[in-house]
Amino acid sequence: MRNNIVFIGFMGSGKTSVGRLVAQRLGFQFVDTDAVVVERAGMQISEIFARHGEPWFRDHETSALSSLSILNRSVISTGGGIVLRPQNRALLQELGFVVWLTASEDVIFERVSRNKKRPLLQTADPRRTVHELLEQRHDLYQGTAQFTVNSTELSHEAAAEAVIAKARKAFSW
């Protein structure tokens, strides 16, 4: 296993915010797979979904994840749906220590409601969509992660400290 920490979890769980803190505290590089896809595609995720659809995005997400296999001493934040493909779940585990950052459904909905550009929530009932997606992905997150942090009542700092403490044990740092 490489000395990377990989964050998975639903949109709004805090993967990017907590991931940046972990990277900063450990002196690691921070990489966000969504940012890699956006950079390579030359357009925002909402535009990718509108122009090309979710399958195109998922193909490019897998490509971005594959390209990160050379990394070491990095913190990698992933998109919420990255666990949908079995190939990605295997890649995530090869990349390093996989952390599932989760939160209660209410907290997640409150957080994701702030951003009106989330393509998967452009539905008649975004609250129901969040519920259904969380149910659909729960076992995939659980089966991929080596450690779970529930961020519902934790600050980003407290969540980052929990991840760092567990990673130190996993890597014997």
Annotated binding site for substrate: 34, 58, 80, 137
Specify binding-site residues: 12-17, 34, 58, 80, 118, 137
CA-CA distances (angstroms) from residue 29 to 58, 61, 62, 74, 102? 24, 19, 20, 5, 23
Q: Widest CA span of the chain, in angstroms?
A: 48
Q: Which residues participate in the annotated binding site for Mg(2+)? A: 16
CB 4, CB 97: distance < 8 Å: yes
> 8: burial class by Cβ within 10 Å (0-12, 13-18, 19+)?
buried
Residues forming the annotated binding site for ATP?
Answer: 12-17, 118
Owner of token pair 């956006």: 38
Q: Are 105 and 130 in contact (CB under 8 A)?
A: yes
Q: What is the 3-state secondary structure (H, E, C) of 75-93?
A: EEECCCCHHHCHHHHHHHH
